[in-house]
Amino acid sequence: MMLYIVRHGETDWNREHKVQGRTDIPLNDYGRRLARETAEGMKDIPIDLCFTSPLLRAKETAQIILEGRNVPLCDEERIQEISFGRYEGLYCGGENQDPESEAFNRFFHDTGNYIPPEDAETIPQLYGRTGSFLKEISERADLADKNILVSTHGAAMTSLLNRIRGNLSVEHFWKDEVPPNCSVTMVEIKDRKAQIVKEGMIFYKEKVKKWKTV
| 8, 17, 76, 88: the active-site residue | 8
Determine the Cα–Cα distance for residues 29 and 26; give it in Å rounded to an integer.
10
| 81, 88, 121, 153: the active-site residue | 81
Mean pLDDT of 106-121: 95
Q: What is the mean pLDDT of the chain?
A: 95
Residue 4: predicted pLDDT: 98
Determine the Cα–Cα distance for residues 68 and 39; give it in Å rounded to an integer.
10
pLDDT digits (tens, 9 = 90+) for 57-98: 999 999 999 999 999 999 999 999 999 999 999 999 888 899
Band of pLDDT at residue 214, cut at 50, 70 and 90: very low
Determine the Cα–Cα distance for residues 89 and 209; give it in Å rounded to an integer.
21
Pairwise pLDDT comparison (207 vs 17), residue with the higher score:
17
Rounded to 5 degrees, what are φ and ψ at 52?
-130, 145
Q: What angle do CA 71, 75, 79 make, to 5 degrees?
A: 115
Residue 96: predicted pLDDT: 84
Mean pLDDT of 159-188: 95
Determine the Cα–Cα distance for residues 123 and 107; give it in Å rounded to an integer.
9
**Helix axis angle, 154-165 to 123-138, nearest 10°:** 70
Does 209 score more than 70 pLDDT?
no
Does 131 score more than 90 pLDDT?
yes
Band of pLDDT at residue 211, cut at 50, 70 and 90: low
pLDDT digits (tens, 9 = 90+) for 29-52: 999 999 999 999 999 999 999 999
Does 174 score more than 70 pLDDT?
yes
Residues facing 75 on adjacent strands: 52
Determine the Cα–Cα distance for residues 74 and 59; give it in Å rounded to an integer.
10
DSSP notation for 79-128? GSPPP-GGGTT-B-SGGG--TTHHHHHHHHHSGGG----TTS--HHHHHH
Mean pLDDT of 127-140: 98
Determine the Cα–Cα distance for residues 204 and 93; give it in Å rounded to an integer.
25
Share of the chain above pLDDT 70, in %: 97
8 annotated active-site: yes
Residue 118: predicted pLDDT: 93
Strand, coil or helix: what is 190? strand
17 annotated active-site: no
Residue 210: predicted pLDDT: 65
